Amino acid sequence: MQCLFKLISVYPLVYFRILFGLLMFCEGIGAVLLGWVQEHYVEPAFNFGYIGLEWIKPLPGFGMVYLYLLMSLLGFCIMLGWRYKLTSFLFFLLFGYSFFSEKTHYLNHHYLIWLVSGLLVLLPAHLQLSLDVRRKPELEQDAVPQWTLWLLRIQFVIIYFYAGIAKIQPDWLAAKSMHIWMAHKTHFYVIGPYLDTEPMIWLTSWGGLAFDLLIGFALLWPRTRTVAFWVAFGFHIFNSAVFHVGVFPYFMIAANVLFFRPDQIARWFFKKRVNVASTAQKRLHLPEWKKRLAVSFFSVYLLFQALFPLRHFFIPGDVNWTEEGHRYSWRMMLRTKSGYINYKVIDADTGEEYQVPLQSYLTRDQIHKLAGHPDMIWQFAQFLKEEYQRQGVENPQVYAYSDLRLNGYPLHPIVDSSVDLASVPYTLGAKPWVTPRPEADGWPWGRWRAGGTAVADE
């Protein structure tokens, strides 16, 4: 435990606070100016909440636009270190609210931003170069326990490594998704003609796998750290240019700097000379119970981050097909899905059938996402049950007719069209009304996980 409380320079946390605040300021403004908030929160008439958290709803009207502008302002305050504890806590709450109020556009990097913003609330990143220090000089400190830095470092190593683990699957190794993605990138200026070539496709697929598995550990090892940083820099710039993944590449580049020594960060970014030996010899005057509390949080949080992304290994079926265990697991850019879905409502009392006009309730993007996510298919069935009851159908039955194409394979139904989804309760884990991924698509996931009995036979 004493090792965790060895003192190091505060400047890595200061650096990250400034970069995080700046990126969040740009993220909030950009999401509004580019119309992302309006498209995802304002235009939809129906909201897909997270199951169990459906009570969290987007603000009505242009409320979410104002919310993002407020978060942008909070990011600016975090950057300046103004009322840091309050503004970082408010940002954590508001970003969590926006994240959990709509799952149609779940993004791993939004989940990451929410996690890191919560960690920053607990980290003393405002003890130098902040308006808080100018307001209260007694806050100023130049040293913090090294666990505050290692908490962030380990978080990012987990993200990289688990993104690599997720790629160890037949479709990725066969570059299925990459062939599809690169075929749509040929229009890019200068580099376009080179992207949709076999060498580039295989290099990107296998190189991405090797990068994710190794880069976190290469950043931790001093001998490979500098080379690893510049490799990561090029990797993230390539992703930004080719795949347009928002703020995530720049967020990760900023985070990768944290793997360098604290005295290097202080010298490079703040022109500060840090005496490492002198800093390490300083004593931290902290009650024992606070130390134990910090260690407990450090341990529990990282244990959760290490175990929770692995839950899909214990759920029958291919996670790429069923989506069970996909979210919050750093499974990034692994598959492509396209498909079709229609609903039919039957009045159980009269036998009268109704074809559901999806466009009357959902946006085009929502319909596209709906076709590939069984939990969303079930949620919309529950909505239709209530909707048709309001229209006078006392006992509506709701059936979904779906066809899904995963990674370019032929279309297959993803839900059992003979099951009345309106009467089915939602359960955790594998669901009997979700069809298994056909074994003809590749690795027999069902047989491998069920110990010799294919899920398709059940």
Per-residue pLDDT of the chain (458 residues; tens, 9 = 90+): 678 889 999 999 999 999 999 999 999 999 999 999 999 999 999 999 999 999 999 999 999 999 999 999 999 999 999 999 999 999 999 999 999 999 999 999 999 999 999 999 999 999 999 999 999 999 999 999 999 999 999 999 999 999 999 999 999 999 999 999 999 888 888 888 889 999 999 999 999 999 999 999 999 999 999 999 999 999 999 999 999 889 999 999 999 999 999 999 999 999 999 888 788 777 777 788 888 898 999 999 999 999 999 999 999 999 999 999 999 999 998 999 999 999 999 999 999 999 999 999 999 999 999 999 999 999 999 999 999 999 999 999 999 999 999 999 999 999 999 999 999 999 999 999 999 998 766 655 444 333 333 333 33
| Residue 235, in any domain of the structure | no
pLDDT at 209: 97
**DSSP secondary structure, 36-89, as one string:** HHIIIIIS-SS--PPTT-TT--PPTTTHHHHHHHHHHHHHHHHHHTTTHHHHHH
Report yes or no on 250 lying in a domain.
Answer: no
396-406 and 337-347 as β-strands: parallel, antiparallel, unpaired? antiparallel
pTM, full prediction: 0.93
Q: Which residues contact 310 (CB under 8 A, 6 or more apart)?
A: 329
Residue 181 lies in a domain: no
Residue 64 structural domain: 1-144
Q: Cα–Cα distance between 37 and 334 in angstroms, integer?
A: 25
- Among 120, 144, 168, the domain-final residue is 144
The angle formed by the CA atoms of residues 419, 423 and 428, to the nearest 5 degrees, is: 85
How much is the pLDDT for 442?
61
Per the structure, the count of domains in the chain is 2
Is residue 177 assigned to a domain?
no
Assess if residue 443 is contained within a domain. Answer: no
Q: Is residue 274 part of a domain?
A: no
Q: Any bridge partners for residue 7, and if so which?
A: 145
458 within some domain: no
Q: What is the pLDDT of residue 261?
A: 96
Q: Specify the residue for token string 């290692």.
A: 150
Domain end residue (candidates: 119, 144, 169): 144
Q: Which of 119, 209, 204, 210 is nearest to 156 (CA)?
A: 119
The whole-number pLDDT of residue 291 equals 85
The residue among 144, 177, 210 that closes a domain is 144
- Cβ count within 10 A of residue 400: 26
Helical (H) or strand (E) element with 342: strand 337-347
Question: What burial class does residue 98 get, using C-beta atoms within 10 Å of its C-beta: 0-12 exposed, 13-18 middle, 19+ buried?
Answer: buried
The predicted pLDDT at position 284 comes to: 73
User: Helix count (H) and strand count (E) of the chain?
Assistant: 20, 5
In a domain, 441, yes or no: no
Give me the pLDDT at residue 248, please: 95
What does the pLDDT read at residue 451? 34
Query: What pLDDT is recorded for position 288?
Result: 85
Per the CB < 8 A criterion, the answer to whether 22 and 155 are in contact is: no
